[in-house]
Each structure stands twice: as structure tokens, then as C-alpha cells.
Amino acid sequence: MEVDHFDPRQKEDVVQDYFNLLLSTRHCNLAKSSYWPGAVDRKCGLRLLDPTREMDWGVHVVEDPKTHLLWGRTPAGNLHIRRLHLNARHLVDERRDRGRILRLLAEQPVKLKSVQFEVPEALPELRRQLESMIRFIPQEPMPEGHPFRLALFERRG
């Protein structure tokens, strides 16, 4: 984790506003860098979401349950996902893994078997693994005409 200046324009201020600082992963911090949307973008609703002051997951950003890609319900959600590269392969893989663990814990706990440990030991280990992963994001299928869906089909050719 790293400390990020939410509004990078305030980075050079002699006295830092505590509310402008937040924890960020290195991935997101590097992706955002010194980016800040311009006035025209902000008038169109294109802004970065401030997770210290607003609910982002579920309101602006949701996860497609089949692909585990995030998509935005709002222009701000779409910009946030694109700018911070929240659909990077490693993040999508982690969300997919989280889904598998949740399904194992919820649907098939009695079927878990391993040569290395018994089921009573496996469940707490899976719970610990789950707690270290990306938190649950509300899920909703991506609409057919969503720009992210269109971009996916263009990339696949």
C-alpha cells in the first residue's frame, strides 16, 4: 500500500490536507499518477471517485458476475475503472478466485477434501484467504450496449 494524493494538484502545498491523502495500491497509484480530470470533463460527470467520502462500489461501480470485469453505472464509475486500470488481468483473476472461494464456502463445504489437511482445517484457511483478497463488489450483468462490453468485442476481433 502507498499513500496517494487524491487531488494531485494539492501535492505541492506546504501543508497537506489530511483529507486529500488515502491508501492506494501501487498499481492504482501508478495508473492514476498525477491525472486529474479537467473542468470540461468534470462538467460532464467525469471525475475520480473519492472512496473516503462516498460509496463507490454498487453505486458507481459493479462487477459482472460472469466475466468478473468491473463496469460503471455512472460516467464517474467508468472513468474511475479506466483510469485506475481496475480491469487489469491480475485484478480480474483475483475477483474470479474470490468468487470460487465464496462458492466453495457457501455451496460445497462438505465436499472439500485434501491430502494435506482435513475439512475443519481447510475452511478457516479459505476464510483467511478470502479476507486478504479484494472485497466483495456488488454484482450485476453488464448491459449489452455498455461501452466496456463493446470495447471487449472490438479487442477480440
Q: Is the pLDDT score of 157 beyond 50?
A: no
Say if residues 141 and 66 touch (Cβ distance below 8 Å): yes
Cα dihedral across residues 31, 36, 37, 38: positive or negative = negative
Q: Residue range 89-103: average pLDDT?
A: 91
SS3 (DSSP) at 33 = coil
Of 32-36, 86-90, 128-132, where does mean pLDDT reach its minimum?
128-132
Residue 44 CA to its chain's centroid (Å)? 23
Q: What is the pTM of this model?
A: 0.75
Domain ranges of the chain: 55-156
